[in-house]
Amino acid sequence: MSDKTRESDDRRGRKTEGYLFKREKTWWACWTYQGERFRQSTGKNIKSEAEVVLEEKIAPFRQREKVDALATLQSRVDRERTELQRAIAHIDRIPLNEVWDRYPYEFTSSRRGSRRRLTPRNIEENRGAWQKFVGFMDGHLPEVKVLEDVTAEHANAYSKYLTDEVHLTAGRHNKLITTARMMFTMAGRPHPFYSVPRYEVRHESREPLEPEQLRDVCSKAAGELRRLFAIMLYTGLRLGDSCTLKWSDIKHGIIQRVMAKTRKTVSFPVHTELQRILDEVPAAERRAFVCQETATLYAREPQDISKRIRKHFEACEISCVEDRVSGKRRISRYGAHSFRHTFITLCARAGVPQGLVRQWVGHASEDVTRIYEHWSPSQEKQRILAALPAVMSGAPALQTPALPTPVPDSTALPPNAREMLSKMTARNWQKIRDALLTAIPEKAPHAS
């Protein structure tokens, strides 16, 4: 505290005192407040009465003194608190290599404030993303050891490194930057990545397998890899869900499980070709997972499964990656996810309604799912099964089973159905559904 401030505080702390003096027959009140002198007549000739008037005049000034004293005390408390926070911040500086252990990025929060625990795979991805940043700092800026010393210049240098030296895609770059931001937030520190731009993501989709490619890939696979291919092809499940499919998920010819990515429950019948592959596994060898060794490897290192699948594709003379027209990073065209694309493509070619496929593979929102409530689930899902070819045996002639030529039936929607559905909300969906059902004829006209 400066001498000037201390002198001002001491002056404010002086107690206001007053006294009386007599001029002719009248008593006068005199008092001093913060160095300023006040003098007023009490209008009283009797001293005791004048003393009462003096106290009345001094009382507001004394009350103001108390307020000033409290304000001075509060100011001192604030200054001491600031100094304390600085001292704590200086002591509680987090080394970069300890941030994850103290503040693991294991939860995500919604705008409503609810928290959801991430899947083990997502948590591991976040940990790996943070370790990439720590590794960059160790290799390029070794003098920066603690989280609080990371600046916006360091953050931009990291972004430039990911783009110019590692040649990451826009999506991968954005993911690593977002994870770094979240780690600062989890640690309760303002993140220095506010000036780092997010790049526009241009999605490069996997390609579906053509019939001849599908026949070669499936018929040449052996062991658990063959079983894994059958699961992905005949269920449309993602790689992680296929690797971790359990025997307990299959009951009475129905597969039912919670998808790891969306946490949605999907349920569908087992294709006859998939059932034949599953029946090849003796009951004594059926442990927790349908592909036990694959599930174990996937839990330890998911990328090894993807690499094994790409290696098998290349052995079948399918090039998994291709060069970009511009850019340094190549595009992955074929891989495990190609089975999911193939599943959806075969259903589309067979005329299976897109909404039903989206519901099967877990892409549809709740509002979209409600649109198809009037369909018969068992009947329509059989159309999906009919759209998938039997390729596991390696038969040379591969033809996708053709569906009967559709005739007008009771599922035909009225001409204004699109307009009605576009106005559907979470509140009025039942009313619109009832209107659509009323507009659909009860019996299909006979085909001529």
Give me the pLDDT at residue 230, please.
92
Q: What is the pLDDT of residue 112?
A: 65
Tell which wins on pLDDT, 330 or 403: 330
Residue 178: which pLDDT band, with cuts at 50, 70 and 90? Answer: very high
Residue-level pLDDT at 372: 31
Count of other CB atoms within 10 angstroms of residue 249: 16
Average pLDDT over residues 434-441: 71
How far is residue 385's CA from residue 389's CA, in Å, rounded to a whole number?
Answer: 9
Can you tell me the distance from the alpha carbon of 380 to that of 373, in angstroms, rounded to the nearest whole number? 11
pLDDT at residue 139 in the model? 94
Which tens digits make up the pLDDT trace of 366-411?
Answer: 443 333 333 344 545 666 666 677 777 654 433 433 333 333 444 5
- Residue 333 CA to residue 261 CA, distance in Å, equals 22
Q: Say if residue 79's pLDDT is above 70.
A: yes
Residue 286 in this model has a pLDDT that exceeds 70: yes
CA 103 to each of CA 96, 97, 107, 118, 440: distance values in angstroms, whole numbers, following the listed order: 11, 11, 11, 14, 57
pLDDT at 404: 36
Handedness of CA 372, 375, 379, 380 (dihedral sign): negative
Which pLDDT does position 419 carry in this prediction? Answer: 74
Distance CA 242, CA 246 (A): 9
Residue 446 pLDDT class (50, 70, 90 cuts): very low
pLDDT at residue 310 greater than cutoff 70: yes
Is the confidence at residue 423, as pLDDT, over 90? no
Q: For residues 419 and 400, is the Cβ–Cβ distance under 8 A?
A: no
Structure tokens at 222: 């052996």
Strands 331-332 and 254-258: unpaired
The SS3 of residue 50 is helix
Residues 318, 395: Cα–Cα separation, whole Å: 19
Strand-pair partners of 254: 251, 269
With CA atoms as reference, report the closest residue to 349 among 245, 208, 215.
Answer: 208
Please give the domain boundaries of the chain with CATH numbers for all domains. 3-90 (no CATH), 99-186 (no CATH), 211-404 (1.10.443.10), 407-448 (no CATH)
Q: Are 29 and 50 in contact (CB under 8 A)?
A: yes
Task: Answer whether residue 365 shows pLDDT above 80.
Answer: no
pLDDT number for residue 151: 93
The answer to whether the beta carbons of residues 39 and 28 sit under 8 Å apart is yes
Helix (H) / strand (E) containing 267:
strand 265-269
Q: What is the DSSP string of 75-111?
A: HHHHHHHHHHHHHHHHHSPPBGGGHHHHS---EEE-T
* Residue of 24 and 399 predicted with greater confidence: 24
**The pLDDT of residue 325:** 53
Cα–Cα distance measured from residue 416 to residue 385, given in angstroms and rounded to the nearest whole number: 31
- The identity of residue 300, as a single letter, is R
DSSP of 310-331, one letter per residue?
A: HHHHHHTT---EE--SSSSSPE
pLDDT score for 291 = 94
pLDDT over threshold 80, residue 75: yes
Q: Residue 108's pLDDT is what? A: 81
What digits encode the pLDDT tens for the residues 194-246? 899 888 876 566 678 888 888 889 889 999 999 999 999 898 898 999 999 99
Kindly tell me the burial class for residue 439, based on how many C-beta atoms sit within 10 Å of its own C-beta (0-12, 13-18, 19 or more): middle
Question: To the nearest whole number, what is the mean pLDDT of the chain?
Answer: 79
**What does pTM read for this prediction?**
0.50
- Top pLDDT among 425 and 155 is at 155
- DSSP structure class, residue 25: T
What local confidence, expressed as pLDDT, does residue 115 receive? Answer: 77
* Contact status, residue 290 vs residue 244, Cβ threshold 8 Å: no
